[in-house]
Amino acid sequence: MRSYVDLCLFVRFIELSEERLGTYRSDMPETEILALWQKHESTMPSYVFHELYHFWQGLRLPFVHRYANRTLRGFQATVTWLKEEGVDLIAPEPIQDQSDTHLAMMWTESVPPLMSESLQAIYGSLTPLDLLEGAASLAEFQVLHDEAARVDRRVFDRWSKRNPSYTNALAILERRLRDGGFALRMFLPLVCQAFSTSDPARSFAELVELTRQIMPTQEELSSAQPRTWTDLARHLMHELPFDSEPDADRGYCRLLPSQMFRRPGHPIAGSLAREWEQRCWPDSAESPDYGLVMEMPGWIADHVLQYCRDRFGPPFTIVRFHWVQGRKSVHIYGGENSGSTGIDEDLIVELLTTYGLLRRRTGLHYDPQTRLCHHSSCPYYEANWCNTFPFVPNDYSECTFSSYVLALTKLVRNGKDTNERS
């Protein structure tokens, strides 16, 4: 299992080996394990920044935020349907989620066949996930290097061979622009603009083709201010052939930051997304910097980037530690900003458990390889109903997952809390 940020809940899942932490004792109390994690996180290793940038994508990119809200509303509708139909929460038969899910498979849908055959051959396999992962990799690279190296394709190639990274979408951009340095300057601005539409993969392809018509000279590339390329990408957005009004429920349209202010807001990321967006308003003293973090993280003032790391980090993180001799342990931690969500530990566990059950039952946003538990002898293990349940004991016979399932099942049937958990 790899580290990732769930793009519906916006909870961070970290896989961490003992080699990264130092000495571990089997009798180490929870407070000391937490201190180990906090010390490690504070050094901001590159993979931690990679996942932080993914969390920021949920806060700043309207498509990602809207997708998450619609998915969670769909799961709420599914619970209502289960109750009305008298259907059990756990059963072998899959069910259709009850949301308005024309977005349900958008992460893996490729560019629609709206271009010429030759361009379809170039972009046809490109997906929103390719763009999100490619953006996180490039952002990770650019915050680690000085200004000259950030746009040097040879430096990036060496770095990407030594570090886990996603380069497919960037490689497409470089082939179309025929200039690696220009591609490194334009990729993040183009991705961010593409995710301000209802169809990111299509928008990215169209924006790239528009960019090809404005190819700068090498002198212009080397002399232009970094902000130039973000401004160019934002300007090109006005050329996209939208067929619906902004924020429309259907059709190809632009999505506005107002997504972050719609009610009901996202239970975990909503308040942070609104706070960040307010910092970008014209009357904010540092609005330009906060509004450019996603497009040009390597050029942002250090104090702004540090503030975003501290204030806009994931409120909840689940860390699975891989200790020596094969032992594993799972821990859930609240960040310094977890209080902004209004969610306490009991509620986040209920949310995680219900979410894992529903995505397993519906198949929506579910990956069978995603699991926290390592107890392969447990009767729940193979079916993976507990894929996001954060309490994994040393002995699965002591697991409280079945108690949570019983309480949630009665809640679905009766519409009230039964307090059955132990």
State the sign of the Cα–Cα–Cα–Cα dihedral 206, 208, 213, 214: positive
Q: Is residue 244 part of a domain?
A: no
Most confident of 27-31, 98-102, 361-365: 361-365
Is 159 in contact with 141 (CB distance < 8 Å)?
yes
pLDDT band of 1, cuts 50, 70, 90: low
What integer is the mean pLDDT of 173-180? Answer: 95
Q: Has residue 382 been placed in a domain?
A: yes
Q: What is the pLDDT of residue 102?
A: 42
Nearest to 8 by CA among 57, 77, 64, 76: 64
Confidence tier at 103 by pLDDT (50, 70, 90): very low
Q: Are 416 and 408 in contact (CB under 8 A)?
A: no
Residue 371 in this model has a pLDDT that exceeds 80: yes
Query: Does residue 15 sit in helix, strand or coil?
Result: strand
Asked which of 113-117, 194-198, 376-380 is least confident by mean pLDDT, the reply is: 113-117
Q: Average model confidence (pLDDT) for the chain? A: 85
Q: Is residue 190 situated within a structural domain?
A: no
| Number of domain units in the chain | 1
Weakest-pLDDT range from 96-110, 238-252, 257-271: 96-110
Q: Lowest mean pLDDT of 156-165, 179-188, 252-261, name the range.
A: 252-261
The region of weakest confidence among 233-242, 263-272, 290-299, 411-420 is: 411-420
In this structure, what token pair is assigned to residue 224? 């232009």
Residue 64 scores a pLDDT above 70: yes
Strand pairing report for 328-334 and 12-17: unpaired
pLDDT band at 284 (very low <50, low <70, confident <90, very high): low
Residue 242 lies in a domain: no
Tokens for 251, please give them.
């059709």
Is the confidence at residue 96, as pLDDT, over 50? yes
Mean pLDDT of 292-309: 94
Residue 409 domain boundaries? 4-79+314-414
Confidence of residue 113 (pLDDT cuts 50, 70, 90): low
Q: What is the pLDDT of residue 352?
A: 92
CB 309 within 8 A of CB 44: yes
Report the alpha-carbon distance of residue 402 to residue 380 in Å, rounded.
9
pLDDT of 418 reads 40
The reply to whether 192 falls in a domain is no
Calculate mean pLDDT across residues 147-153.
95
- Tell me what pLDDT residue 306 has: 93
Is residue 101 over pLDDT 60? Answer: no
Q: Does 350 reside within a domain?
A: yes
Residue 8 has pLDDT above 50, yes or no: yes
Q: 34 versus 54: which is more confidently predicted?
A: 54
Per-residue pLDDT, averaged over 207-212, amounts to 96
| pLDDT of the residue at 235 | 96
90, part of any domain: no
State which of 152-166, 260-274, 373-387 shows the largest mean pLDDT: 152-166
Torsion of CA 50, 56, 60, 66, to 10 degrees: 100
Supply the pTM of this predicted model: 0.90
Does 398 fall in a domain? yes
Give the residue-averaged pLDDT of 240-249: 93
What contacts 124, CB < 8 A, 6 or more positions away? Answer: 110, 111, 113
CB count within 10 Å of CB 195 equals: 28
pLDDT on residue 70: 87
Percent of residues, the chain, with pLDDT higher than 70:
88
